[in-house]
Structure 1
Amino acid sequence: MICCLNPDCPHPLNPDGEKNCRTCSTPLVPLLRNRFRVIQVLSDEGGFGRTYLAEDIDKLNERCVIKQLAPKVQENWAMAKAIELFHKEAQRLQQLGEHPQIPTLFAYFEQDNYLYLVQQFIDGHNLLKEWQQKKRYSSREIQEILLDLLPVLKFIHERGVIHRDIKPQNIIRRKSDGRLCLIDFGSSKQLTARVQFKMGTSIGSHGYSPIEQIRDGKAYPASDLFSLGATCFHLLTGTSPFQLWTEHGYSWVKNWRQFLKNPPSDEILFLLDKLLRKDIHQRYQSADQVLKDLAKKRHLPLKQSNVGEIPPPTQSSSVSRKYALLRNFFLIGSAILLLVLGEFFYRQSQQMESFVSSSVSRGTKPGDILNQSHNQTIGNFQLMRTWKLSGKSISAMAISPNGQTVMSNSDDNIKLWSVATGQEISVFSGHRNRVNALVVSPDGQVLVSGSTDRTVKLWNLARGREIRTLEGHLDSITTLAISPDGKMIADGSNDKTVRIWNLATGEVMRTFIGHSAEVSSVVFSPNSFLFATASADKTIKIWNFATGKQIYNLVGHSAGVTSLAISPDGKILASGSSDRTIRLWNLATGKQIRSLNTSAEVKSISFSPHGQILASGGDDAKIQLWNPTSGEKLYTLVGHLGTVNAVIFSEDGKTLISGSQDSTIRIWQVVN
């Protein structure tokens, strides 16, 4: 694909070999500066141009990021100022790129009346995605994050730069060495320079940015430190500062400790107390101040009578040394114990993925039927629990990221269940007709439901309250998905359309039109670049999410496509159909890899977290488990008495949950 560089082009991707853009007729540029091949749009820069993902052919097609300056301003002074600031940004990045944890500047040039700035692409996962996998950070891990990032902040602040947008999404753990890298300096400004465009004053992300930045548009080193504190708070508690800011404004920072599920160390409590001060004058003023407190060897008290004052030690120096030795001995022993336990639980989580070999060693062969009796183990699966609703068919389910709560439809209500006990926790009421789809945000804060009443509702899971209702479809909502970054909701409807909503604002971002029958399934790729939709019209469509343009139309099923799933590595798209097959497709090329023949119409499919198992539920009341690499059927789980409409894995891979037309939910666990 070749990307159009017209910043106003609504659909910039074009097939290779095209001379002019198919959408806007702009001449296409195969290589910028005869070196950089632009492959897709990453983001729009608020009327100042676009940011692209590209390949550097001089470096064996190494990926890089290209920022384009194309400001939509009329005044000569405004254009001159934009060019001046862009040039200064390039100079700053050249200087900042000397730091190993900041992207390097590769090039800065003008071409075809646009300015371009080329930066290093950091290969890794940001801390939000890392949190979604871990679900919990220890005090030691938070301390390591602070020790890794504070020197970076000290470095940029000493050079007169404020980042202004520190949050988990802008911190990437580099795959090569595990170091944390600070990205997205697009909103950075010199301490002595103020942008005077009449396009708004605040830069940053609500919840993570301090009050002086959002209210007054002013930012200082202490502003970045607040954002770093909010980031650590999010990772430590699992609670999104944006959600708290939406509901409570800045009042949440006064009582941030109430959101703790597991109390951290006294040191971390003390540091976050001071990082999260609403009043900038009561906050840490420099990264050095935080580093000095982190370097202190003595134990910090939970509460301080005066902000910034640390009471003198009450023990003698000899006692302190003994205490330090004992404390270090305890920490080393604890670390060893944690490593042993971590290895044990890691192996437990791998059991789901490797159960074939371990089961064969016990004499159980792939394809065997697992007995439905509770507490009887065959292979690596055990039916742990079954609970039944009063005559309510289960057609929609979701599981919380921590794996502790299952949500299911119950006619026009939503019920929450404890996975551990099977007890009903809560009931959400508000829809006027049957609930058909459920999905939970990656941070576990928001439940989204879609209904035959043509609406999508957002619920605060912790409080059980409705946040907002999304309306606009002309027929029933049939399917839902949330983007991996938790920012967007996708829904599919019987009105043959798909809508993308901004989860935070409830605004429609994009509408996909193209199917000739009701939409049955929608799914985002792990990187959110691609988006897949399925329909009763027997087709699957792959879309470029950034542009809204259809890339592929997958044809092969002989009946309606009922369910889609994408492997965790983003390489394989699986589709289930009423034609009693599951088809596996190469997501990048749209080519079919193989077809799996099932014993029934497929109603639901789901990949395990490591991608080595594909589960399917059908109208024969069975759950079938497949090896997606070889196409081999591994096992069949029986026990349901009606169509299995939903199968989902927990994020740790230890639990498989199924919901059926027989009004039951079943919990299957991996055992030794």
Structure 2
Amino acid sequence: DSNKYCQNCGSKLLLKDRYRPLNLIGQGGFGRTFLAIDEDKPSRPYCVIKQFFPAAQGTNNINKAAELFEKEATRLDQLGKHSQIPELMAHFTQDGRQYLVQEFIPGQNLAEGLNIEAPYKEEEIRGLLKNLLPVVGFIHSHNVIHRDIKPENIIRRQNSDRQLVLVDFGAAKYALGTALLKTGTTIGTPEYTAPEQNRGKAVFASDLYSLGVTCLHLLTKVSPFELFDVGEGTWVWRRYLQNNSVSEKLADVLDKLVENAVNRRYQSVNEVMETLGADAPVNLTLIQDKTALQTPKVTPAPVPSQTWKCIHTLIGHQKWVCSVAFSKDDKIVASGSEDETIKLWEVDSGREILTMRGHSGYVNSVAFSPDGKILASGSDDKTIRLWEINTGKLLCILGDWGRGEYFGHSGGVTAIAFHPDGKTLASASKDKNVKIWRLGDDIYDANFGKVMMTLSGHSRPVRAIAFSPDGKTLASSSEDNTIKIWDLSLGNTVKNLCNYYQGVHYIYALAFSPDGKILASG
């Protein structure tokens, strides 16, 4: 506690000679958040330090992010006098980095609470709305749109009044004069974001939409993505109430809060409060620029005709699904997961056929052989496994020790692809290389599973590979922001597609068009 400098790097441990960070409590976007102590006060109270930290983001939007960080401090200084918004204590630059220090709110955010509690009842939702709507009205009266209202950004104070506090104004924006009519940055959390905000046209009613979606999530404990039927273009949250009744009056309020079309949604906090039968939160007529609070009439964009529908949701993996692949006859889907398993699913019924276990790392890629008899899987455990489709039997491991030597990758396998003739397999790895493996027709052939060539040239991990339809070339993309086209007869690059993306970006996906004339990258 008495140290002033880091014994490892020599940096000052105290910010502004008074704020001492204790531990990292969050990281995302362009900032890191620390729990800290204000050593300048006798009581040494807790506070929160937000550090602008874009170093590892790999983006060309750092200037925009720095501007947003600066504006967050300005808004907190203006809005933090409200008892349900954290107070700004300091904003400064030290050692070339921006910081803001704000009041620490002891308590649990609503997302954390929901993990251990039952879904909210009607009275709890009404209480939440009556508690939070005045706060939203307050920020709107200062011409600010929060743009990121969600359970994670609402904290219930750990004291007798148990008031709700709205936090994280990093995404907020001013809405002065004609600003509401301009297309801006798309920002917010997709699950809770209003359609017009996703198009860069956030209005005051966008915050009401996010608050409504938050209520639906708290009522059901189900992701908002699942509560909206894309095929029908309607919310279906009532299906997920789990013996939790909601009166028609509150249901109508929630439905109107989450209307897709802005002009059918509540236009102001006062409207919602009046419907709920509560006192209006603020006298909006006191604002000098009254036009700033008027939501412009918005004509919704025509909804495109639906050309697809979800036929099955395949549930069974315990962790993220990293990859999927269709068999050539379209009857089977394979999936690889962070739970280190591969599953085969029947397309027509959505039934799980079997689970294949053996990898000791994330299964990053799966691929069917052209004849549909073999499934290949690539994993963070640095190996590629070949499986018999009909039985799920492990046929062999490529990259494993064998014959007294090791031919495999020295890093995790990120992508695999079968050659169109089915006799060759390519693999990409975090070791920055691509390997071409000989398969042939006979698994018992002495040369089966040997490396034919190693393609080196990328300066960072390779993330995606794709054979051209004629099988003569291979495309590879990397975290080094380049795409290379390899001539497989020579084993060298014939073309480098460099810096098609400004800044440093990982290129995660590649696909050739059927005629081989176009390559798409993501």
SS state at 1:137 partner: coil
2:6 pairs with 1:18: yes
Q: How far apart, in 1, do the equivalents of 2:12 and 2:178 lie?
A: 34
Compute the displacement of 1:498 (Å): 11
Contact 2:24 2:34 in 1 (8 A): yes
* Secondary structure of the corresponding residue to residue 119 of structure 1: strand
AA at the equivalent of 1:228: L
Instruction: Report the counterpart of residue 175 of structure 2 in structure 1.
Output: 191
Distance in 2 of aligned mates of 1:67 and 1:54:
10
Q: Counterparts of 1:243 and 1:188 in 2: how far apart (Å)?
A: 26
Q: Give, in angstroms, the shift of residue 41 of structure 1.
A: 3.8
Which amino acid counterpart does residue 186 of structure 2 have in structure 1? S
User: 1: distance between equivalents of 2:37 and 2:351?
Assistant: 48
Report the secondary structure of 2:156's partner residue: strand
Match in the other structure for 1:229? 212
Q: Distance in 1 between matches of 2:253 and 2:382?
A: 52
Query: Of residues 286, 300, 308 in structure 1, which corresponds to 2:268?
Result: 286
In structure 2, what is the Cα distance between the partners aligned to 1:17 and 1:95? 33
- Relative to structure 1, the CA distance from residue 471 to residue 218 in structure 2 (aligned partners, 3 Å threshold; closer, same or farther) is farther
| Kept after mapping to 2: 8 A contact 1:225/1:275 | yes
Q: CA deviation at 1:96?
A: 1.0
AA at the equivalent of 1:18: C
Is structure 2 residue 196 aligned with structure 1 residue 212? Answer: yes
Secondary structure of the structure 2 residue equivalent to 1:64:
strand
The counterpart of 1:473, out of the listed 368, 381, 385, is 381
Q: Distance in 1 between matches of 2:86 and 2:15?
A: 20
Task: Report the secondary structure of 2:205's partner residue.
Answer: helix
Q: Does the 8 Å CA contact 2:153/2:168 hold for their aligned counterparts?
A: yes
Residue type matched to 1:153 in 2?
V
What's the % identity of the aligned pairs?
42
**How much does 1:17 deviate?**
6.1
Aligned partner of 2:252 in structure 1 is 270
SS of corresponding position for 2:49: strand
Counterpart contact for 1:211–1:250, Cα < 8 Å: no
The DSSP-based 3-state class of the residue aligned with 2:40 is: helix
| Counterpart for residue 433 of structure 1 | 356
Cα distance in structure 2, aligned partners of 1:114 and 1:292: 46
Contact 2:68 2:171 (C-alpha < 8 Å) held by counterparts: no
Compared CA separation, residues 296 and 453, structure 1 to 2 (3 A): closer
**CA distances 1:60-112 after superposition (whole Å, capped 9, x unpaired):** 44322222346789xxx996x87766544323212211111110111122323
8 A Cα contact 2:361 2:379, kept in partner = no
Q: Any residues of structure 2 matched to 1:82-161 within 5 Å, and which?
A: 86-161=69-144
1:251 is aligned to 2:237: no
- Structure with greater contact order relative to length (CA < 8 Å, sep ≥ 6): 1
Aligned-partner Cα distance in 2 for 1:288–1:214: 25
Q: C-alpha separation between the residues in 1 aligned to 2:178 and 2:65?
A: 12
Q: Distance in 2 between matches of 1:496 and 1:16?
A: 42
1:259-338 map, 5 Å: 259-262=240-243, 263-295=245-277
Residue 164 of structure 2 corresponds to residue 180 of structure 1: yes
> Deviation per CA, 1:570-627, whole angstroms, max 9, x where unpaired?
xxxxxxxxxxxxxxxxxxxxxxxxxxxxxxxxxxxxxxxxxxxxxxxxxxxxxxxxxx
Matches within 5 A, 1:405-554: 429-434=352-357, 455=363, 471-474=379-382
3-state SS of 1:55 partner: strand
- Aligned partners of 2:217 and 2:224 also within 8 Å: yes
Evaluate the alpha carbon distance shift between residue 71 and residue 128 of structure 1 in structure 2; reply closer, same or farther with a 3 A threshold. closer
For residues 219 and 45 of structure 2, what CA distance do their matches in structure 1 show?
35
Aligned equivalents of 1:98 and 1:140: distance in 2? 29
Is contact 2:146–2:207 with CA below 8 Å preserved after alignment? Answer: yes
> What is the alpha-carbon distance in structure 2 between the residues aligned to residue 154 and residue 470 of structure 1?
52
CA contact (8 A) 1:138 1:236 kept: yes
Local SS of the residue matching 1:58: coil
Aligned counterparts of 2:138 and 2:20: Cα–Cα separation in 1: 32
- 1: distance between equivalents of 2:193 and 2:114? 20
Letter matched to residue 192 of structure 2? Y
Q: Could you say what secondary structure the match of 1:433 adopts?
A: strand
- The answer for the alignment partner of 2:461 in structure 1 is none
* Inter-partner Cα distance in structure 1 for 2:412 and 2:364: 12
Note closer, same or farther for the CA distance 1:133–1:84 as it changes in structure 2 (3 Å cut): closer
Q: Are the aligned partners of 2:197 and 2:206 in contact in 1 as well (CA < 8 Å)?
A: yes
In the alignment, the residues of structure 2 paired with residue 430 and residue 453 of structure 1 have an alpha-carbon distance, to the nearest angstrom, of 22
In structure 2, the CA distance between the partners of 1:454 and 1:228, relative to structure 1 (3 Å rule), is closer
Cα contact 1:433–1:453 (8 A) shared by 2: no
The alignment's C-alpha RMSD in Å is 4.7
Q: Which residue of 2 aligns with 1:202?
A: 186
Give the letter for the 1:38 counterpart: P
Change (3 A) 1:28 1:78: closer
Q: For the residues of structure 2 that align with 1:249 and 1:39, how far apart are their CA atoms?
A: 48
Pick closer, same or farther for the CA change 1:136–1:46 going to 2, 3 Å: closer
Residue 473 of structure 1 aligns to which amino acid in structure 2?
A: D
Q: Which runs of 5+ in 2 are unaligned?
A: 280-315, 319-338, 366-376, 385-408, 414-429, 431-522
Q: Is the 8 A contact 1:431 1:453 kept in 2?
A: no
- Which sections of structure 1, spanning at least 5 residues, go unmatched? 3-14, 22-26, 298-395, 399-408, 415-425, 437-450, 458-468, 477-494, 500-510, 512-672
Q: CA deviation at 1:54?
A: 2.1
1:420: which partner in 2?
none
How far apart are the structure 1 equivalents of 2:353 and 2:379?
14
